[in-house]
Amino acid sequence: MNDELFEQYRWLQNRRRFLNRSAVGLGAAVLGSLAAQRATASLPELPHFRPRASRVIFLFMGGAPSQIDLYDYKPGLEEKYKQPLPEDIRDGQRVTAMTDGKEKLIQPSIFKFTQQGKCGRYMSELLPHLSTVVDDLCFIKSMRTEAINHDEGKTQFCTGSQVQGKPSLGAWLSYGLGSLNKNLPDFIVLNSAFWSGDQQNVQALYSRLWGTGFLPSKYQGVAFQSAGDPVLFLSNPTGVSRTSRSKMLDLVTQLNHKHAAEIGDPEIQTTIAQQEMAFRMQSSVPELTDLSEEPESIKSLYGPEVEKSGSFARNCLLARRMVERGVRFVQVFHRGWDHHSALPAKLRGQCKDVDQPWAALIQDLKQRGMLEDTLVVCSGEFGRTVYCQGKQNETEYGRDHHPRCFTAWLAGGGIKGGIEHGKTDEYSYNIVDADGQRTTRFEDDAVHINDLNATILHQLGIDHRRFTFPYQGLDQRLTGVEEAHVVQKILA
Amino acid sequence: MRLIACVLGLWAVTASVNLRADDSISYNRDIRPLLSDRCFACHGPDEGKREGNLRLDLSDDPLGPFRSAEHSDSVDGAKGNSQAIKPGHPDQSEVWKRITTDDLSIQMPPPESGKKALTPEQRDLFRKWIEQGAKYEKFWSFDPLRPQSLPPVDHQSLASNRIDQFVVASLKKHGLEPQPSADKRTLIRRVTFDLTGLPPTREEIAQFESDDSPDAYERLVDRLLGSPQYGEHWARHWLDLVRFADTNGMHHDHYRELSQYRDWVIRAFNANMQFDQFTAEQLAGDLLENASIDQQIASGYNRLHMVMDRGTNPPQESYTRNVVDQVSAFGTVFLGMTLECAVCHDHKYDPVKQKDFYQLFAFFNNIDGDPETPGREQQPPLIRLPSPEQSKSLSEFDSQLASAKTNVDQLKQMLKEATAAKKASEAKAKAEAEKGEKTDKVAKSEKAEEEPQAASKPDDGKTSQEAQQVKALTSQLKEKEEELRRIQTARDELQREIPLALVMKERADLRPAFILKRGAYDQPGDEVTRNTPSFLPPIESRGTVLTRLDLARWITDKRHPLMARVTVNRFWQQLFGVGLVKTSGDFGAQGEYPKHPELLDDLANTFIDSGWNVKSLVRSIVTSQTYKQSSRVSPEEYINDSENRMLARGSRIRLDSEVIRDQVLAISGLLNSEMYGKSVKPPQPADLWRTVSMVSSSTYSFKEDTGDKIYRRSFYTFWKRAMPPPQMTIFDAPTRESCTSRRERTNTPVQALLMMNESQYFQAARHFAQQLLSTQTQDGGDVKASLSQSSDSKRLATAFESITGQLPSDAELSDLLNGLNSFREIYREDVEAAKAMTAEVSLSSDAERIELAALTMVVNALFNLDTAKTRE
């Protein structure tokens, strides 16, 4: 039954492409409502060109890690300790209500930076593991956004717009590319349930970050749970065995077929197919989340936390297992990076959670030959200020939100390793061009979130300008109405 | 395989459906959508992006298409004058040349724009339009409503009212025939779901089936329109539109209290409040003369947008965001237009200027309150709504508080005086003692200095009168202060219980409004005053300054072309699954041209003439022959017209998430039909909130309600915007972050999992199975008899009928019996599973548990039928 049904769908899919290409697009919509429900459908016009990556793992550090203490080495800052931030550097930057009108005194990072890898990039002592794979990483130091607070910042990063109601990157990909595995969702979200650095000021997430906005809701991310069923409502209720469930679905299918014979609505066939898929997911998902077959060597690569359900380490390993099985887009969220005070201890704790799993994920993908066509992206929603917020001493300093420049890193998926892109001024406050002049221009290597999104799409074989969905009178794009650019300089 | 065969067989039929019935080209229907989609972005209303000094959206503009202009790069290379469009002469029209040329450098739309080239069929339409004189029409939805004459119909019997007359005429034009009425069982299930969101009971079905009177259906409709559940169900659609939720939606996503507003909406629908009044009270209830409490509650409509927390963003940014959201909502809800584009620039497709947006902004720019929520506290302006008893208790508390305060104050004063007296007497005593000591030993004086307290501490037994007074007063004060605290705590508790409502309130002086450059809150441009867009009829003021109330009266003025059309279309959408205009939230240039424009206008006219009578409108739709048609048609017909836009059959629609859950609860007998009040929390999977929330959020921990609250209608389920109830969102409920005029209907495996396994849904199956088993026993049979074939059939037929509204065919019944027997086998072999499933039910034997488990699985199967989640 299953195979026959899927053969039917494959046939219908081809049929649909044919219909779409033909001048009379009628009936295509009808078949679309049937065929597009199935797992592997992609838009007929996609990809626009040969993709370099077929899947993406997006590691989102919610709360915004400090680029100054992790990535953007500024050796000259020590001499400027407690000096006020020059006005010409701040240059009218609007700040949050938390530090508005307060003194802005320079706080250098207390963490040591040393050169790592063949590329010799300076890495923070907080990231010893990531430092071992630095030659595979591309650091964009010139990321920028308009948002100055978490809610809008995250919404903009995940959906391309600060205003809610737009589809997330994963939803766009699910809509455009479909999935490579008929038994698993196209777009999976893994929320980490633990973070070591901060317990109190942990910024919120919102389901819109993996939502579909105006796209049909079937493209939304399926959030895996760290406790209970990994996929909501996956397990049979108490007393319902797989045999019993299978029998129940047989009965449902028999009756659905009888009904379909009386009433011509093809939607009934779709329901039957989705119930079959649900049944298959009941075995494919537990197989996916069961780590007992993973060798110890792999688990230890990710560190001891991997044994803990809901840990970032476990989620990174799960993400690898997901892309391995053809899930198109996996987004891993880790919270607790909003360090307005006592940054040193908090940041140390956070890095303990993520450093080893980050490096493990890169190594693991690489040794399987999967890094080539798996794009890994890691970022927070914005950066943090060079000036101190709150008490200023070696243990208590904090940093406020900073949208003008921050660092994201990428690996694999046709991105050059061992490189940096973009420059910031001596305060890590502004993006600067080759002459050291403040800039926000793409031509000067400034990278807006929309540019990053355009680049991610590009690696997946999608021209962001042509990848649209009609809504509210506009051909909506992930990258918005302003011009966005692919960051060609970082492509391998 | 059957499906493929029918798809193939259909191919020839498919092509014919949307072809026009006659050859005349309509600008609004055929041409404008093409121009809007391909051309207006560069040759439309937006001055900032206009190319080549040409606009194609207006025929009579100085830059319009008919003017003669010099082209240096015309297609044939000829210099000199040419016309973008020369009526009657496609070959002399530059536009026609450019859309047909192969020369990529001048082709339109430019290949690099990403806009699709016209298809041959579309080109054909375009050429014919120019040949026929290239007539422009005013954009249809901005054109005033006109009286519609009824088209003639051959067989009057096919048309039971005006709606049918339009539909039958249109079907005939397309060579189609309407379907006969659906059978009575289908009909009662359909109309009961549509009007109340609940399924009919078996008794209601039986009653309707046996009622042969000619107005049986009409009386059924009247009963449903009069049931209180009508108001709940129709309010629920409204709450999607206005983005009602229980949390602020941003940052902490704290709880906010708006349930009074929800109750008001239910009551308004049930009382059949005139829709113009319904509109005015929400937009401007606070501005009505002697605004009643209810009208103030209704003005809470203005408070439904997302809200930021204080102390994060610059307040002016939050403020601007709120007002922009309100204007956008005004556009979607009442104008059916997307105004948001004009926040930053002139609209690219519609004639909405950026200035128009900020003139509307000025109407909402005057709330008397902070723009951000003060932590967990409710955000003013708000009103408190004590019951008479609560008011009485409050004033009692207040007088108690007052007297307690007086007591405390008095005591404090007395104590102060007594302490002073005591100090004075002690000082005196000390001075006297010192005087005496001067003649005494020096050492004694030193000791006194070492222990300065010693002097003021009266020796035992020698307590002064003043000191005793102080002691007594101190303890009295402590007592009275304790009492004051007690009263205050009790009053606070009462205060918390008193319902409150967030409302709209205008500031005394008008806040100036400005065009915001590129929409940036900190980049004000020219100042603007309150006004409405110039392409719509002018607004009339009743006072010196235009108000939100004037705005409400403006949109409900019968000369206004949008409001009535938009509203009747949305009601139509609720009853047919798709509106006459599919894009029910966008009646602008990029929206859809209506499928039955005359019918839409006729409905709108009737609606206005009836005094905006919603129930009368709904009644006329659901009693039409069009609505009552059977949906049992061939696959070909479904594939030809999947969304039933031609209206050649009854619509078959997947039920909304709330209706699906309510049905399961209602049929099983678990539903708690209590109305009104605060939201409730039925069970949901663990940790959903915690995983996304800030620790300090008032919605960090989810605590499921107890008792029968968890069986209330889904309409009352607590709505946390950052993580809405998955039972709802999985079936396409919107997040309620922004206004949603139309829900998607998808069909996914996660939905299938929900229907199979969700705890309440499964509990309901077991509960229903229990009912079925016990009813049978009450009928006189013992356990043994209930196992017999005939009682099995009876029970299964009852279950099938309750869930689908239909009696099972013999073949279906046989499937069910076989299914039941297979489950009996499964659970006989696995008694532990049966025990586990039925652990919470008190039963005396394993046999009974096996029986219950087996029947539960059959009911679970029935709830999972496609037809169970579909109204047919």
CA–CA separation, A293 vs B44, rounded Å?
A: 61
Tally of structural domains, chain A: 1
Interface pTM (ipTM) of the complex?
Answer: 0.86
Chain A residues with beta carbon closer than 8 angstroms to that of B754: 232-233
B258-279 per-position pLDDT tens digit? 999 999 999 999 999 999 999 9
Judgement on whether residues B44 and B110 belong to the same structural domain of the protein: yes
Count A/B contacts: CB-CB distance under 8 Å. Answer: 301
Name which of B572, B644, B625, B642 is nearest B601 in CA terms.
B572
* Helix ranges, B498-562 (H): 548-555
Give, rounded to a whole angstrom, the gap between the first and last alpha carbons of chain A: 45
In a domain, B645, yes or no: no
Tell me which residues of chain B, numbers 15 to 44, contact chain A at a CB-CB cutoff of 8 Å: 15, 17-18, 36
Q: What b/e readout covers A467-482, taking b as 16+ CB neighbours within 10 angstroms?
A: bebebbbbbbbbbbee
Q: Which pLDDT belongs to residue B438?
A: 64
Q: Do B470 and B349 form a contact (C-beta atoms < 8 A)?
A: no
Q: Which pLDDT belongs to residue A98?
A: 82
Classified as helix, coil or strand, B544 is: coil
In a domain, A87, yes or no: yes
Largest CA distance in chain A: 83
CA–CA separation, A269 vs B2, rounded Å?
A: 11
Q: Which pLDDT belongs to residue B579?
A: 97
CA distance A61 to chain B (A): 13
What percent of chain A shows pLDDT beyond 90?
A: 75
B489-520 per-position pLDDT tens digit? 999 999 888 999 999 999 999 999 999 998 99
Q: In B717-860, where do the E strands start and end?
A: none
Judgement on whether residues B117 and B63 belong to the same structural domain of the protein: yes
List the single best residue of B8, B320, B748 to mutate versus A (max A Cβ within 10 A). Answer: B748
The answer, yes or no, to whether residue B10 has pLDDT greater than 80, is no
Residues 6+ apart with CB under 8 A from B621: B163, B571, B572, B575, B603, B627
In a domain, B72, yes or no: yes
Q: Do B702 and B724 form a contact (C-beta atoms < 8 A)?
A: no
Q: Which pLDDT belongs to residue B7?
A: 37
Beta-carbon separation of A248 and B756 below 8 A: yes
Tally of structural domains, chain B: 5
What is the H or E stretch that residue B691 is in? helix B688-692
Tell me which residues of chain B, numbers 1 to 20, contact chain A at a CB-CB cutoff of 8 Å: 1, 3-4, 7, 10-11, 14-15, 17-18
Judgement on whether residues B95 and B53 belong to the same structural domain of the protein: yes
Residues 6+ apart with CB under 8 A from A236: A242, A244, A245, A282, B756, B757
CA–CA separation, A88 vs B709, rounded Å?
A: 60
What is the H or E stretch that residue B68 is in? strand B68-70
Q: Which pLDDT belongs to residue B13?
A: 35
Q: What is the sign of the dihedral through the CA atoms of B134, B139, B144 and B148?
A: positive
pLDDT band at B71 (very low <50, low <70, confident <90, very high): low
Write out the residue range of the structural domain in which residue B348 sits. Answer: 239-384+508-560
Mean pLDDT value of segment A207-212: 91
Q: Which two tokens stand for residue B549?
A: 């109330």
Chain B residues with beta carbon closer than 8 angstroms to that of A26: 14-15, 17-18
Written as one string, the DSSP assignment of A26-89 is TTHHHHHHHHTTSTT---TT--SS--S-SEEEEEEETT---HHHHT---GGGGGGTTPBPPHHH
Beta-carbon separation of A244 and B857 below 8 A: yes
Beta-carbon separation of B654 and A267 below 8 A: yes
Instruction: Give me the torsion for CA of B342, B346, B352, B354, rounded to 10°.
Output: 60
Hey, is the C-beta of B130 within 8 angstroms of any chain A C-beta?
A: no
Q: Check residue A122 and give left, alpha or beta (phi > 0: left; psi -120 to 50: alpha).
A: beta
Judgement on whether residues B380 and B248 belong to the same structural domain of the protein: yes
In a domain, B475, yes or no: yes
State phi, psi for B367 to the nearest 5 degrees.
-70, 140
Q: Which two tokens stand for residue B370?
A: 């902070």
List the single best residue of A8, A19, A161, A252 to mutate versus B (max B Cβ within 10 A). Answer: A252
Q: Do B317 and B586 form a contact (C-beta atoms < 8 A)?
A: no
Judgement on whether residues B765 and B861 belong to the same structural domain of the protein: yes
B101-135 per-position pLDDT tens digit? 888 888 888 888 778 888 888 898 889 999 999 99
Q: Do A414 and A489 form a contact (C-beta atoms < 8 A)?
A: no
- Hunting for tokens 């009854």 — which residue is that? B650
The answer, yes or no, to whether residue B367 has pLDDT greater than 60, is yes
Judgement on whether residues B479 and B513 belong to the same structural domain of the protein: no
Name which of A223, A221, A220 is nearest A231 in CA terms.
A223
Beta-carbon separation of B730 and A232 below 8 A: yes
> Of A189-198, B47-56, B429-438, B484-493, which gets the smallest average pLDDT?
B429-438
Chain A residues with beta carbon closer than 8 angstroms to that of B4: 8, 11-12
Q: Do A23 and B121 form a contact (C-beta atoms < 8 A)?
A: yes
Residues 6+ apart with CB under 8 A from B765: B664, B668, B856, B857, B859, B860, B863
CA–CA separation, B283 vs A90, rounded Å?
A: 43
Judgement on whether residues B117 and B43 belong to the same structural domain of the protein: yes
The answer, yes or no, to whether residue A33 has pLDDT greater than 70, is no
Mean pLDDT value of segment B415-431: 86
Between B458 and A164, the more confident residue is: A164
In a domain, A286, yes or no: no
Q: Which two tokens stand for residue B840?
A: 């919470």
Q: Do B786 and B777 form a contact (C-beta atoms < 8 A)?
A: yes
CA–CA separation, B825 vs B293, rounded Å?
A: 63
Given B36, B639, B816, which is nearest A30 (Cβ)? Answer: B639
CATH number at residue A346: 3.40.720
In a domain, A14, yes or no: no
Hey, is the C-beta of B722 within 8 angstroms of any chain A C-beta?
A: yes
Q: Which pLDDT belongs to residue B76?
A: 57
The number of residues making up chain A comes to 492
Mean pLDDT value of segment B649-669: 98
Chain B residues with beta carbon closer than 8 angstroms to that of A150: 251
Chain A residues with beta carbon closer than 8 angstroms to that of B109: none
Chain A residues with beta carbon closer than 8 angstroms to that of B801: none
What percent of chain A shows pLDDT beyond 70?
A: 91
Angle at B610 between CA B572 and CA B223, to 5 degrees: 65
Beta-carbon separation of B857 and A259 below 8 A: no
Tell me which residues of chain B, numbers 212 to 271, contact chain A at a CB-CB cutoff of 8 Å: 249-253
The answer, yes or no, to whether residue A297 has pLDDT greater than 70, is yes
> Of B116-120, B415-419, B457-461, B607-611, which gets the smallest average pLDDT?
B457-461
Using only C-alpha atoms, what is the Rg of chain A?
A: 24
CA–CA separation, B144 vs B287, rounded Å?
A: 28
pLDDT band at A21 (very low <50, low <70, confident <90, very high): very low
Q: Which pLDDT belongs to residue A9?
A: 39
pLDDT band at B437 (very low <50, low <70, confident <90, very high): low
Judgement on whether residues B401 and B339 belong to the same structural domain of the protein: no
Provide the CA A132 distance to its chain's centre, in angstroms.
Answer: 23
Q: Which pLDDT belongs to residue B73?
A: 56
Write out the residue range of the structural domain in which residue A207 sits. Answer: 54-235+296-490
Between B91 and B71, the more confident residue is: B91
Partners of A456 in the beta sheet? none
Beta-carbon separation of B749 and A229 below 8 A: no
Judgement on whether residues B687 and B818 belong to the same structural domain of the protein: no
In a domain, A251, yes or no: no
Q: What is the DSSP letter of B25?
A: -
Domain boundary among B136, B171, B197: B136
Judgement on whether residues B798 and B813 belong to the same structural domain of the protein: yes
Tell me which residues of chain B, numbers 504 to 523, contact chain A at a CB-CB cutoff of 8 Å: 522
Judgement on whether residues B380 and B395 belong to the same structural domain of the protein: no
List the single best residue of B753, B807, B851 to mutate versus A (max A Cβ within 10 A). Answer: B753
Q: Do A411 and A382 form a contact (C-beta atoms < 8 A)?
A: no
Q: Which two tokens stand for residue B542?
A: 């009743």
Hey, is the C-beta of A272 within 8 angstroms of any chain B C-beta?
A: yes
CA–CA separation, B420 vs B425, rounded Å?
A: 9
Hey, is the C-beta of A278 within 8 angstroms of any chain B C-beta?
A: yes
Q: Do B528 and B406 form a contact (C-beta atoms < 8 A)?
A: no
Chain A residues with beta carbon closer than 8 angstroms to that of B865: 252, 255-256, 259
B530-548 per-position pLDDT tens digit? 999 999 999 998 889 999 9
CA–CA separation, A137 vs A366, rounded Å?
A: 12
State phi, psi for B717 to the nearest 5 degrees.
-70, 135
- Hunting for tokens 């007063």 — which residue is that? B473
Hey, is the C-beta of A3 within 8 angstroms of any chain B C-beta?
A: no
Q: Which pLDDT belongs to residue A36?
A: 35
The answer, yes or no, to whether residue B488 has pLDDT greater than 80, is yes
Hey, is the C-beta of A182 within 8 angstroms of any chain B C-beta?
A: no
Mean pLDDT value of segment B551-569: 96
In a domain, A394, yes or no: yes
State phi, psi for B19 to the nearest 5 degrees.
-65, 145
Three-state SS annotation for A315-335:
HHHHHHHHHHCCCCEEEEEEC
A353-394 per-position pLDDT tens digit? 999 999 999 999 999 999 999 999 999 999 999 999 999 999
Name which of B598, B594, B649, B654 is nearest B627 in CA terms.
B649
Three-state SS annotation for A412-476:
CCCECCCEEECEECCCCCCEECCCCCECCCHHHCCEEHHHHHHHHHHHCCCCCCCCEEEECCEEE
Axis-axis angle for helices B810-829, B789-804 (nearest 10): 110
pLDDT band at B778 (very low <50, low <70, confident <90, very high): very low
Give, rounded to a whole angstrom, the gap between the first and last alpha carbons of chain B: 24
Hey, is the C-beta of A239 within 8 angstroms of any chain B C-beta?
A: yes
Beta-carbon separation of B348 and A474 below 8 A: yes
The answer, yes or no, to whether residue B451 has pLDDT greater than 60, is no
In a domain, A274, yes or no: no
Hey, is the C-beta of B402 within 8 angstroms of any chain A C-beta?
A: no
Q: Do A480 and A467 form a contact (C-beta atoms < 8 A)?
A: no
Q: Is the peptide bond before B749 cis (omega within 30 degrees of 0)?
A: no
In a domain, B45, yes or no: yes
In a domain, A205, yes or no: yes
Mean pLDDT value of segment B542-567: 95
Hey, is the C-beta of A97 within 8 angstroms of any chain B C-beta?
A: yes
Q: What Å distances lie between residue A156 and A424, A448, B313, B724, CA to CA? A: 22, 11, 15, 20
Given A217, A226, A281, which is nearest B749 (Cβ)? Answer: A281
Given A150, A227, A233, which is nearest B686 (Cβ)? Answer: A227
In a domain, B702, yes or no: yes
Between B670 and A197, the more confident residue is: B670
Chain A residues with beta carbon closer than 8 angstroms to that of B121: 23-24
Residues 6+ apart with CB under 8 A from A32: A16
Judgement on whether residues B247 and B361 belong to the same structural domain of the protein: yes
Q: Do A117 and A418 form a contact (C-beta atoms < 8 A)?
A: yes
Q: Mean pLDDT score of chain B, rounded to an integer? A: 90
Beta-carbon separation of A8 and B1 below 8 A: yes
